[in-house]
A = this chain, B = another copy of it.
Amino acid sequence: MPTKIEDVARRAGVSTATVSRVLSGKPYVSDELRQRVLGAVNTLNYRPSRVARSLRVQRSSIIGLIVSDIQNPFFTAVVRAIEDTAYQNKFSVFLCNSDEDVGKETMYLDLMLAEHVAGVIISPTAGMNDAYRRLVEERVPAVAIDRRITNVAIDSVLVDNVGAARQLVTHLIEQGHSRIGAVLGTPASSTGEERLRGYLDALHAHGLPVEQDLIRTGMPRILEGHAMMRELLQLPKPPTAVFTGNALLTIGALRAIHSSGLRFPDDIAMAAFDEMDWMFFVKPALTVVAQPTYDLGRLAVELLLKRMDEPDRPIEEVVLAAHVHYRESSKWRVPNANGANHQKEG
């Protein structure tokens, strides 16, 4: 029932080759035939089958996008940017949610290969996965976003996590804290690992001891963030400040703090990763590092397009800076009787 190129050709009294040429804007078609073809296309309301086209030309105009958590506002912002940029370049996006599950991620990557997507953008769930290797073996253009792939070298656009975390924690230290809790994503992902490293860097630089009890890692989700924060608060000697490593963990931690009736910065100081829409409502205002979500997404697409054009260009790794917003939640803290609080000037 769907009209095919042959129907159009018949109606316009030309060959399918000509129709194809007209439709793909190729040269060497007389104006007269072009008009006839266009007319036929119009009256028949013909839309070429992308499937057939993909089969023939061995690539599609679809960008496969795999994010690790579609409910994380950080990723939806990035998705938004990717979608916009892809759209501007006549590509469309095939989005999947790996849900931080390596099995699901592998399955979706396989699907995309089988589907002959033009390229893949992925926020990897783990540093390595054989499926990533297959990607480069089959020479499918691919870009990693947000997290690093250690398995194999591919283009990536990342954020300076170490630097941002170090800044945030340094700031807490300068505000007089020495026992700083960390609620982080699993170190299996580069973001988790790097944000932890930034935290440790800051402690070391100020000669502060590292207390393993104060460092919690887990799946970067609200529930886990809540649990980790509660554990920290139930410690015999709880931290006087906390650093949270992602939007969802921050929500969870806020919930835990909130339900124990504590308030920052006086009961506990806080500095978090990721700015969110509704944060204006958190009082006192939360010190956060805002990640360049839109640029991240835009650059990922641009890198992907570049690699499609030049498959053999050298691997490129873009690292974006994040911007810290210093606000009240981490303000100078009056030392209280609560614990040993090595006061430093800020």
Seen from chain A, the residues whose Cβ lies within 8 Å of a Cβ on chain B are 1-2, 47-52, 54-55, 60, 62, 70-71, 73, 76-77, 79-80, 83, 87, 92-97, 104, 108, 110-111, 113-116, 138-139, 222, 251, 254-255, 258-259, 276-278, 280-282
Contacts and interface: CB of A to CB of B under 8 A. Distances in A.
Contacts of A139: 1
Nearest to A53: B114
Contact of A111 (B92, B108, B113): B92
Given A222-B277, A259-B280, A278-B278, 5 more contacts: A50-B115, A51-B54, A70-B76, A92-B96, A258-B281
A99 to B, nearest CB: 8
Contact of A51 (B60, B80, B276, B278): B60
Which 5 A-B residue pairings sit nearest by Cβ, starting from the closest? A95-B95, A50-B114, A51-B54, A51-B55, A94-B94
Contacts of A55: 49, 51-52, 55
Contacts of A60: 51
A96 B97 contact: no
Given A76-B70, A277-B222, A49 B254 contact: no
Contacts of A2: 138
A71 B280 CA distance: 18
A94 B115 CA distance: 12
Contacts of A96: 83, 92-93, 95
A92 B94 CA distance: 10
Given A2-B138, A55-B51, A115-B50, A97 B70 contact: no
7 contacts: A52-B55, A70-B83, A71-B73, A73-B73, A76-B76, A92-B108, A258-B280
A113 B83 contact: no
